[in-house]
């Protein structure tokens, strides 16, 4: 993930009389949306769905009520404002009742005071949270065979992607080598056509393709030349996430003449529905994203994959759980859609989550067991470690080292940062040919104006045998990913190793009194970095992955809800790319990219959720989330507790013992998730109970977004039936209840609990027998023993006599009062 600032964009000149200081606002109004309308308006019968039930898009009741809502939106705006002084961008009718409109701040105040208007919020920006993993997760042997093999894994499950679009011609989405795809009757989405070729973006694998850009256009941020007014991916990010979740199986990943393995989605037979709402330069706007989600749910997707989130907690609302974005997702879950959202890339610092709500599966990022390492051997025998996804120089030969700043064609070129090695025309080819070119890793690489790909191209253009990039200054937490290149190359990431190399080079490079080089006498050779090293210490929590505690408001007060929920692979993930994608400068023009971020971990969970939905089609989103969480693991492949990457004062990175604030319930285990034994189920009314019992949330605000009064017996938000227990402010003793439902055969479970010493834990009953399909309640009692000012961590473990293991994390922060 990276914050995308406004670049140079094409301003769309409008004939409308909209004020020059106009902004986009998301407005909610009185009246229930389709998903929760229970009747009462003359001429319009109820359209509400039960919890976890899809909207009947073909019903005349639904379409006529939708027209009624849109007409009311238009009437309200028409009564308040003169025609031409405003621009309505969207009507939201399915999940929330409201609209997005481009108006002046003064008009927004008029709207706020208008009868029937519930909330008026200024739009805010969102950003992206920017193969080997199926084998690492055990899918080919443990999960796919139970669903009929990879050629049936995810069959007829539709995953919606709210992202930057798709490159439909990629082999990861092709249908010519697959068994023909039949229709999916439950899905009603549209397929836009390419504006130039008039060809549909859909092909049977891709079943829906739409784009949403009205807010971006109104804001003047949209440039049709580079952003494409179509579902075409102008960035790379959307194609990457779609192929992680649902890309075809066994697609060769080839770059620079080398095959890096074969890529596959988690659910290779699942269908893809594209809802493009993110763009290359500026990310996206919530008004567009909400419209995309609203349409996706109406169209009938089963799963939503969101590698997108706000830049920070929404400042306009009092709580993180109630805003147009999260309220729309609550409606999606009510309609039976499972939502996986990237946790954010603000780690390793606490309270950096940007996915907050209990109805969403918030996914943290793990490093899997692959590591790409390389080395540079100097002429003095020293070996310097680095990273470089490249072939080696000839094994038995060493080559002369030549630094870029010693082979400039003209001293006047210094203003072009020639040591970045981005422009071959600045350097003397005669001195570089047949040698290893030494370059410097400057800030330009961090901001994306320089790339390792370009260094490789420069070295090749100058006939160098290879290149070395030296990092001389590094900030704590700086992350370096290996980049595939076609000729020998290495990035020395450790500043102390870079210093050794520079000292060796200076000693072996005699100069005259002016500083000009007499002879290049330093030598070296570059190792083979193409083969990954598999580590048993995997998985680990990635440095960048956002951390808990979860927050409930803009003041960063902690919530009684664990976030993230689960950990999935999100580092160095190979997946599809589009040739015109510029999200990563090192992969411009390529068909695949290996990138990192919680953007990559969320579609892993979306794809695995599709496999669970395929096996258990009637499970609720909460049941799927529960199965993923309770069967996850807190151990690495060597059987040791999970570790998390963390910054230190003296070094760039260190490993510490991970906690639930790093990984949620643990790292996903797809095989176990298909057969969890017990589930912790919850629905729309339970989520309303959570909102109504959370201190500090205005009940009027809850009613504004949910159209439902607070009438709950939940007592405390910690009683929400989630597969985790979190108490942010534990005073003396608190009893928490949970209900489990048996989704297997009758089984007897022994229940044990353990906790760090500052908090005592007790569970009751100690054992229970649960019949198939039955539900049973148990209680967990937490008591403060000593006040430490930090959270205590523990777990409740339920072991069944048929082999099922159900584990939930427990977190509590003890206070005197």
Instruction: Give start and end residues of each alpha helix (H) in 450-520.
Output: 452-461, 495-507
CA distance 334 to 613: 16
Q: Could you confirm whether 599 is annotated as catalytic? A: yes
Among 31, 706, 695, smallest CA distance to 322 is for 706
Contact by Cβ (8 Å): 296, 288: no
Contacts of 131 (CB under 8 A, 6+ apart): 244, 253, 261, 263, 264, 573, 574, 575
Angstrom distance (rounded) from CA 227 to CA 222: 7
d(CA 513, CA 511): 7
Q: Which of 52, 163, 235, 302 is catalytic?
A: 163
3-state helix, strand, coil in the chain (%, to 5): 25, 30, 45
Pick the catalytic residue: 599, 601, 665, 724?
Answer: 599
Number of neighbours of residue 9 by Cβ within 10 angstroms: 18
Q: Which of 166, 163, 165 is CA-nearest to residue 129?
A: 163
Residue 288 φ then ψ, to 5°: -70, -40
| DSSP reduced 3-state for 406 | helix
Structure tokens at 707: 């159209």
Return the number of other C-beta atoms located less than 10 Å from residue 754's C-beta. 12
Q: Which of 485, 592, 498 is nearest to 528 (CA)?
A: 485
Residues 640 and 636: their CA atoms lie apart, in Å, by: 5
CA distance 469 to 301: 46
Cα separation of 811 and 659, whole Å? 10
User: What HEC string does 581-636 produce?
Assistant: CCCCHHHCCCCEEEECCHHHHHHHHHHHHHHHHHHCCCCCHHHHHHHHHHCCECEC
The active-site residue, picked from 132, 237, 604, 804, is 237
Q: Which residues pair with 210 in a beta bridge?
A: 275
DSSP state, residue 392:
P
For 171, 213, 286, 492, 495, the CA distances from 557, given in Å and listed in that order, are: 47, 34, 24, 41, 39
233 is catalytic: no
Taking the C-alpha atoms of residue 398 and residue 223, their distance in angstroms, rounded to an integer, is: 50
Vertex 803: Cα angle to 801 and 805 (nearest 5): 100
Please say whether the beta carbons of 540 and 636 come within 8 A: yes
Decide if 392 is catalytic. Answer: no
Written as six digits, the tokens of 93 are: 């009718």
**Which candidate, 263, 215, 219, places its Cα nearest to that of 242?**
263
Total residues belonging to the chain: 817
Do the strands 654-657 and 125-128 form a parallel or antiparallel pair, or are they unpaired? Answer: unpaired
Secondary structure element (H or E) that encloses residue 19, with its range = none
Asked if 760 contacts 780 with a C-beta cutoff of 8 angstroms, the reply is no
Looking at the DSSP bridge assignments, the partners of residue 654 are 646
Contact, 597 vs 542, CB < 8 A? no
DSSP string covering 668-731, please? --HHHHTS-SEE----HHHHHHHHHHSTT--HHHHHHHHS--------SGGGS--SSEEEEEEE
Closest by alpha carbon to 468, among 397, 399, 372? Answer: 399
Give the active site residues.
163, 237, 599
């Amino acid at each position: 993930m990276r914050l995308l600032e406004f670049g140079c964009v094409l301003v769309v000149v409008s004939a409308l009389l909209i004020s020059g200081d106009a902004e986009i606002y998301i407005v909610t109004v009185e009246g229930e949306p389709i998903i929760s309308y229970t009747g009462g308006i003359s001429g319009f019968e109820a359209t509400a769905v039960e919890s976890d039930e899809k909207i009947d898009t073909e019903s005349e009741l639904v379409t006529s009520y939708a027209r009624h809502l849109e007409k009311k939106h238009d009437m309200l705006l028409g009564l308040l404002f003169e025609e031409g002084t405003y621009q309505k961008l969207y009507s939201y009718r399915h999940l929330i009742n409201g609209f997005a409109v481009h108006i002046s701040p003064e008009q927004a105040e008029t709207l706020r005071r208008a009868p029937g208007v519930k909330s008026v919020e200024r739009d805010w920006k969102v950003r992206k949270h920017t193969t080997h993993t199926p084998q690492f997760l055990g899918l080919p042997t443990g999960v796919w065979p139970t669903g009929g093999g990879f050629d049936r894994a995810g069959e007829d499950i539709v995953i919606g992607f709210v992202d930057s679009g798709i490159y439909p011609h990629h082999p990861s989405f092709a249908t010519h080598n697959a068994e023909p795809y039949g229709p999916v009757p439950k899905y009603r989405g549209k397929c836009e056509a390419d504006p130039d070729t008039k060809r549909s973006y859909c092909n049977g694998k891709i079943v829906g393709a739409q784009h949403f850009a009205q807010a971006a256009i109104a804001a003047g941020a949209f440039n049709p030349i580079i952003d494409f007014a179509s579902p075409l991916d102008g960035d790379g990010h959307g194609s990457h996430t779609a192929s992680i979740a649902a890309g075809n199986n066994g697609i060769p990943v080839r770059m620079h003449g080398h095959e890096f393995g074969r890529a596959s989605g988690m659910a290779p037979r699942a269908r893809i529905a594209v809802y493009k709402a993110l763009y290359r330069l500026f990310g996206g706007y919530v008004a567009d994203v909400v419209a995309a989600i609203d349409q996706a749910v109406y169209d009938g997707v089963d799963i939503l994959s969101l590698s997108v989130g706000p830049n920070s907690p929404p400042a306009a609302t009092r709580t993180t759980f109630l805003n147009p974005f999260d309220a729309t997702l609550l409606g999606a879950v009510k309609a039976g859609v499972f939502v996986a959202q990237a946790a954010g890339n603000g780690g390793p610092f606490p309270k950096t989550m940007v996915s907050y709500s209990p109805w969403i599966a918030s996914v943290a990022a793990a490093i899997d067991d692959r590591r790409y390492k390389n080395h540079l051997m100097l002429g003095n025998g020293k070996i310097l470690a680095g990273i470089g996804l490249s072939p080696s120089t000839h094994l038995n030969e060493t080559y002369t080292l030549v630094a870029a700043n010693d082979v400039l064609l003209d001293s006047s070129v210094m203003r072009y940062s020639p040591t970045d090695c981005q422009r071959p025309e600045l350097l003397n080819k005669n001195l570089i040919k047949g040698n290893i070119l030494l370059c410097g890793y400057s800030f330009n690489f961090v901001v994306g104006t320089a790339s390792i790909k370009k260094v490789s191209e420069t070295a090749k253009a100058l006939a160098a045998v290879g290149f070395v990039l030296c990092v001389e200054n590094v900030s704590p937490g700086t992350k370096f990913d290996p980049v595939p290149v076609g000729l020998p190359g290495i990035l020395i990431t450790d500043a102390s190793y870079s210093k050794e190399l520079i000292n060796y080079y200076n000693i072996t490079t005699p100069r005259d009194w002016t500083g000009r080089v007499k002879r290049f006498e330093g030598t070296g050779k570059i190792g083979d970095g193409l083969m990954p090293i598999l580590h048993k210490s995997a998985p680990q929590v990635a440095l960048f992955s956002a951390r808990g505690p979860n927050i409930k408001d803009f003041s960063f007060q902690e919530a009684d809800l664990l976030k993230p929920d689960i950990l999935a692979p999100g580092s160095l993930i190979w997946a599809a790319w589009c040739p015109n994608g510029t999200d990563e400068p090192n992969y411009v023009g390529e068909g695949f990219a290996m990138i990192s971020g919680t953007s990559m971990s969320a579609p892993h969970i979306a794809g695995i959720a599709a496999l669970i939905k395929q096996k258990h089609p009637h499970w609720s989103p909460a049941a799927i989330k529960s199965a993923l969480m309770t069967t996850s693991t807190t151990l690495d492949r060597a059987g040791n507790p999970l570790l998390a990457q963390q910054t230190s004062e003296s070094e760039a990175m260190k490993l510490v013992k991970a906690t639930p604030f790093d990984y949620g319930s643990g790292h996903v285990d797809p095989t176990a998730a298909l057969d969890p034994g017990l589930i912790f189920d919850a629905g729309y009314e339970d989520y309303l109970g959570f909102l109504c019992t959370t201190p500090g949330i205005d009940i009027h605000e809850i009613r504004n977004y949910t159209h439902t009064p607070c009438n709950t017996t939940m007592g405390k938000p910690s009683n929400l039936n989630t597969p985790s227990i979190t108490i942010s402010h534990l005073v003396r003793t608190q009893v928490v209840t949970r209900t489990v439902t048996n989704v297997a055969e009758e089984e007897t479970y022994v229940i044990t609990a353990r906790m760090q010493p500052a908090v005592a834990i007790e569970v009751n009953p100690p054992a229970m027998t649960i019949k198939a399909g039955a539900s049973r309640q148990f209680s967990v009692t937490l008591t403060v023993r000593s006040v430490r000012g930090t959270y205590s961590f523990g777990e409740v473990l339920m072991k069944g006599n048929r082999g099922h293991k159900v584990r939930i994390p427990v977190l509590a922060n003890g206070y005197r009062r």
